[in-house]
Amino acid sequence: MKSEPSCYGIEHLAAEAGQQAPWWGVRNYQARNFMRDQMRPGDRAFFYHSSCPAPGIAGLMEVAAKAIPDETQFDAASPFFDPKATSESPRWFSVDVRLLAKTPLVSLKVLRAQPELANLRILAPGSRLSITPVDPAEWRFITERLMGLPGGQP
DNA sequence: GCCAACGTTGGC
DNA sequence: GCCAACGTTGGC
């Protein structure tokens, strides 16, 4: 799950009550579908810092609550307001995420250097989706081999 | 700031 | 449904 740290980085999540917050503001249908249709409590995710001096994976999260409508779509004062969304027919959804651990940054450069991650979606040319799937083998490789977490546990 | 890649919009 | 134009993303 990608975010720009200057906007909302891992330090922001760390400062939330319970280190937990809705992943609001996603306005892309594919990314929305991943949250709404596939992500379930207990699932894990990487917190990826994008559009910043040091892009890469900054920590581990878990899904704390299944997707519900993103309240910012109804807020006319929000930059994420969507005039076509109604409470009867919401368009945008967010899961709650909870920080499990900040990790030493696994940089984009390091990720790209791993043959085992050749198919990691976020590394695909032109990948712009803010939420992309990670295969179990990719998750294990990154947590165990690149982060040095035995069993992938934080 | 540049530029490639992508998603969305809107006219037809 | 097509497709050009446009806006956004994100690494560099």
pLDDT at A113: 95
A123 touches strand C (CB under 7 A): no
Residues (pLDDT < 70) of chain A are none
Of A146, A51, A53, the C-alpha closest to A103 is A146
Q: Which nucleotides of B are covered by protein (CB under 7 A)?
A: 4-8
pTM surpassing 0.85? yes
Q: What is the pLDDT of residue A89?
A: 87
A1-34 pLDDT tens trace? 999 999 999 999 999 999 999 999 999 999 999 9
Distance (Å) from CA A45 to C1' B7? Answer: 24
Sign of CA dihedral A33, A114, A128, A10: positive
**Distance of C1' in B10 from CA in A14, Å:** 42
